[in-house]
């Protein structure tokens, strides 16, 4: 399955209700699975973003549904990156003209 890296930043609403964060994470794990994806890794980070999540989904359309679902809740803003494994990278580069 394709891998995705998500950079999340708390909205004002999200930070005001930060104590609900651990519960929201458990809900997120179940939601990823229910929508066909998998939340593989979660990190709370310092810097421009507040959270980094590594996930998988069968395709970009599924991931779009997942990201839009979380965004619509109003607790985070996100930036999602499609990540390619070393093997995928090598295959892409090898196929260049």
User: Over the stretch 26-41, which tens digit does the pLDDT of each residue have?
Assistant: 999 999 999 999 999 9
Non-local (6+) Cβ contacts of 6 within 8 A are 51, 52, 53, 54, 55, 67, 78, 79, 80, 81
Q: Where are any strands of DSSP class E within 11-87?
A: 38-44, 51-56, 76-83
Q: Which CATH number fits domain 3-94: 3.40.640.10, 3.40.50.2020, 3.40.390.10, 3.30.70.920?
A: 3.30.70.920
pTM of the model: 0.90
% of the chain with per-residue pLDDT over 70: 100
Beta bridge partners of 96: none
pLDDT band at 12 (very low <50, low <70, confident <90, very high): very high
Mean pLDDT, to the nearest integer, of 44-56? 97
């Amino acid at each position: 399955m394709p891998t995705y890296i998500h950079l999340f930043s708390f909205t004002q609403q999200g930070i005001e209700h930060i104590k609900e964060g651990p519960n929201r994470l458990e809900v997120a794990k179940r939601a990823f699975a229910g929508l066909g994806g998998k939340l593989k890794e979660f990190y709370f980070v310092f810097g421009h973003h507040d959270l980094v999540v590594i996930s998988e989904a069968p395709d970009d359309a599924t991931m779009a549904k997942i990201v839009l679902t979380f965004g619509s809740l109003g607790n985070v803003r996100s930036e999602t990156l499609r990540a390619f494994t070393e093997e995928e990278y090598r295959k892409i580069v090898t196929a260049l003209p």
